Amino acid sequence: MLILKTAAECSAFILTYRNKNPTHSIGFAPTMGALHEGHLSLLRTAQSTCALVVASIFVNPTQFNDPTDLEKYPRPIAHDIALLNTVNCDVLFLPEVSDIYPNGTAWQNPFLFGSLVTVMEGAHRPGHFDGMAQVVKRLLDIVEPDFLYMGQKDFQQQTIVKTMLAQMNSTCALVRCPILRESDGLAMSSRNVRLAPNDRALAPRIYAAMCLAKAQKATHSPRETRQNVLDFLTKTPKFGIDYVEIVDVTTLLPIENWSDSAEAVICATLRLGGVRLLDNEILC
Ligand code: AMP
């Protein structure tokens, strides 16, 4: 695997590759590292379509609204590189903050995201999605992929990136990859290692709640389903529930009737022992 550490090196490599292989497609999966099978699944999916697969590892400071979270974010880089080698990733882009933001981190967001960035995660993490869009835009300008691979795990992020690509008139296609889970259903996340053993045992209940919603869809309205999921989650007093919402996948706004939406998703986030757990399930 080729490791490129600066934007200039990465852009130059991509340009040369394109010139030599004009018909080949490039797939890209941006990550913040502390890789797990969920991340690797994005790369495997990319390999099934693309001739060249690029991963990036960059812990983006502008999307952290909690400095402690940024500081504590795991950075096991040697292990990450070993994992990327096991899936035959072609290129790792591994830049420093000063290389991604040579003129500082201030940014005037040119995109019109409307309520996409203020609902759900946006309401709990002000500025998070601006920072996320800032880094994804910068990475796309450097890597210029044909396909961008992102996990359904971060559902809201994905809808916002899709909107951003449309507003950029980008030819890059976003590929939504399914959530990889531990055997007990907990969605894999780099933050799971921070769960204390007792909390780790409780954590799969968030997935059980997503399954409950799926089972109830045939017999309950969105409002009833959401309430039943909330009732289920509040039975575990250690859960601090940030939100549970059943929304349209494109507008991210709550729906009143299942027929209001071609594709609806239940999104939930809760806090457990200082760790935020996100999960969602498409309710087609
Ligand atoms: P992160 O490193 O957390 O920024 O995640 C990088 C990419 O991996 C994002 O597109 C995530 O949605 C995706 N991802 C994270 N966890 C999972 C998972 N459990 N299954 C599938 N994709 C995931």
* Total number of residues shown for the chain: 284
Residue 72 is given by DSSP the state H
Nearest-angstrom CA–CA distance, 253 and 267: 11
Nearest-angstrom CA–CA distance, 258 and 32: 35
Per-residue pLDDT tens digits for 238-266: 999 999 999 999 999 999 999 999 999 99
Nearest-angstrom CA–CA distance, 198 and 68: 22
In this prediction the pTM is 0.97
Q: Which tokens sit at 113?
A: 């995201």
Q: Which tokens sit at 263?
A: 């594709």
- Number of the ligand 1 atom closest to the C-alpha atom of 180: 20
- Number of the ligand 1 atom closest to the C-alpha atom of 189: 16
Q: Which tokens sit at 104?
A: 């500082």
Nearest to 89 by CA among 32, 40, 149, 31: 40
Q: Which helix (H) or strand (E) holds 15?
A: helix 7-20
Q: Which neighbouring-strand residues pair with 52? A: 26
The answer to whether the beta carbons of residues 252 and 119 sit under 8 Å apart is yes
Ligand 1 contact, 280 CB (< 6 A): no
Per-residue pLDDT tens digits for 13-32: 999 999 999 999 999 999 99
Nearest to 212 by CA among 224, 195, 200: 224
Ligand 1 contact, 32 CB (< 6 A): yes
Q: Is 39 a catalytic residue?
A: yes
Nearest to 29 by CA among 82, 77, 87, 92: 92
CA dihedral over 267, 139, 41, 164, signed as positive or negative:
positive
Residue with tokens 């940014």: 107
Which residues, other chains included, contact 123 with Cβ-Cβ below 8 Å and sequence gap of 6+? Answer: 243
- Number of the ligand 1 atom closest to the C-alpha atom of 179: 20
Per-position pLDDT tens, the chain of length 284: 999 999 999 999 999 999 999 999 999 999 999 999 999 999 999 999 999 999 999 999 999 988 998 998 999 999 999 999 999 999 999 999 999 999 999 999 999 999 999 999 999 999 999 999 999 999 999 999 999 999 999 999 999 999 999 999 999 999 999 999 999 999 999 999 999 999 999 999 999 999 999 999 999 999 999 999 999 999 999 999 999 999 999 999 999 999 999 999 999 999 999 999 999 999 98
Helix and strand numbers, DSSP H then E, in the chain: 11, 9
Closest residue (by CA) to atom 13 of ligand 1?
151
**128-143 and 7-20 helices cross at what angle (nearest 10)?**
50
Nearest-angstrom CA–CA distance, 79 and 81: 5
Q: Which helix (H) or strand (E) holds 132?
A: helix 128-143
For a pocket test of ligand 1, which of 28, 31, 39 has the largest count of ligand atoms closer than 8 A to its C-beta? 39
98 C-alpha to center of ligand 1: Å?
24
Ligand 1 contact, 182 CB (< 6 A): no
